[in-house]
Amino acid sequence: METELKVQKPGRLACLDTFRGLDILIMIFVNYIAGMKASPAWLQHVKDGIDAYTINDLVFPGFLFIVGVAIPLALYKRITNGASRWKLIGHILSRTAALLFLGILTVNEHGYSAADTGLPKSWWYLLAYAAVIVFWNIYPKTDRASKRRLYLGLRLAAAALLIVLVLIFRGRAQDGTVTMIQTSWWGILGLIGWSYMTCSFTYLLTRGNRTALMGAMGFMIALYIGVRHGALDFLGPAVHNFIHIESNFGSHAAIVTAGMLAGSLFIPGGDIREHKPRMKFMFFLGAGTLVAGYILRPLHGISKNQATDSYALVSSGICCLALLGCYYLMDVKGIKAWANFLLPIGVNPLLAYILPDIVGSVQDLLTSITRFDFWKLLWPFREAGGWPGHLNAVVMTLVILLIVRGMTKAKVVLKL
């Protein structure tokens, strides 16, 4: 048994892309069935105020956790490539700004006013997402100056288009007031951005020391509890409503930090290089945070909407144990073929995240042009719900998977 659990071969972790791909695939499916008639409770988000969670409520922390796993590996790669501390800080801040910007774009969709903007909603978002793809696409390295100028020109044109779209955007508030793009909340990508920034700087400050990271995770949980009980009320509602300290720097950041603890095990040349001690650490980290979450449960309950301390710990534990299972199956035992269909989503998560909105905008645009309801073409059982609606959602999810796969093969890969 000892010979089976030796040093991991160098290369990309198979479990990392698989975990991320599976999480995003589930996210796409549950978004398609959200609010669907006759949907079982375990496939719906738990309503606010109820002390419980479903598989749907684990999708977002799953993505936070895998972001944390990737942080030590990404920073290590940049450091070994000669990046200075200031370059690392600049990279973290620029990536955070990009995530916040994309998050704001998505959350303003529901308030969009075509009449006040002067552009149909489907056109505005198709142009915006096209610009996002062009700007953040990974273009192939080339020695030809003409191609480098072309790629730079495409990025500059995409940036200019995004600026124009943001400037002309107009929405309608609930009281009927005309608004520009605003931060009613930060959106999923924006929440990830805040936690990514917090935890990346935490990792740099602690130099990846796992004992220090555990202390930081404990502080983040304490920060959430303290804010909930008024410890930072002196900052005023403006600060709290804008940043949401208790989640962005507290519970959500704690989930990312749990991921960093797991990710620190896989740094090339690190202090833990064999499979067995890695799995042992992940097991106790996962089991420990899971138990701690249930111990704290009477304090605020397990609630995704409130991002409670117990929710952060329980979901961190489940994610860590799930990653352990993937790691053992794929990177230790080498059983990888079953997950090949997940890899395009795992290596191209941003495209997979925005693609359902792009497909929806295309459907709306075609419907407005042809007067034929293209939603009924792909979504014939959307309104009916039940098992036909859920099977229809599976088909829609597979459509997204196939499009991502095709675009990834065509070298359309987004990276912030």
pLDDT in tens, 140-149: 988 899 999 9
Q: How confident is residue 416, by pLDDT bands cut at 50, 70 and 90?
A: confident
pLDDT at 2 over 60: no
Element (H, E) at 178: strand 178-179
Which range (10-14, 127-131, 252-256) has the least confidence? 10-14
Q: Model confidence over 303-312: pLDDT tens digits?
A: 999 999 999 9
Rounded to whole angstroms, the Cα distance separating 40 from 152 reads: 49
Rounded to whole angstroms, the Cα distance separating 320 from 289 reads: 9
Name every residue whose Cβ is closer than 8 Å to that of residue 132 and which is 6 or more positions away in sequence.
Answer: 102, 105, 158, 162, 354, 414
Mean predicted lDDT score pLDDT of the chain: 92
Residue 345: closest CA among 331, 361, 356, 360: 356
Secondary-structure breakdown of the chain: helix, strand, coil percentages, each rounded to the nearest 5: 75, 0, 25
- Average pLDDT value for residue range 278-293: 97
Mind giving me the DSSP string for 242-268?
Answer: HH-HIIIIIIHHHHHHHHHHHHGGGST
Grouping H, G, I as helix, E, B as strand and the rest as coil, residue 396 is helix
Q: How confident is residue 350, by pLDDT bands cut at 50, 70 and 90?
A: very high
Number of neighbouring beta carbons within 10 Å of residue 70: 19
pLDDT at 88 over 50: yes
Helical H segments across 178-305, by residue range: 187-206, 210-228, 236-243, 245, 252-263, 275-295, 297-300
Element (H, E) at 94: helix 85-107
Q: How confident is residue 6, by pLDDT bands cut at 50, 70 and 90?
A: very low
Q: Model confidence over 16-26: pLDDT tens digits?
A: 999 999 999 99
pLDDT at 5 over 70: no
Rounded to whole angstroms, the Cα distance separating 398 from 414 reads: 20
pLDDT at 278 over 90: yes
pLDDT at residue 146 in the model: 92
pLDDT at residue 7 in the model: 39
Rounded to whole angstroms, the Cα distance separating 219 from 227 reads: 12
pLDDT at residue 11 in the model: 56
- Average pLDDT value for residue range 331-357: 93
Across the chain, which distance is largest between two alpha carbons, in Å?
A: 68
- Residue with the bigger pLDDT between 13 and 87: it is 87
pLDDT at 288 over 90: yes
- Average pLDDT value for residue range 75-82: 93
The tokens describing 380, both together, are 């014939």
- Asked if 412 contacts 51 with a C-beta cutoff of 8 angstroms, the reply is no
* Termini Cα distance of the chain: 41
User: What are the sequence ranges of the domains in the chain?
Assistant: 14-108+182-344
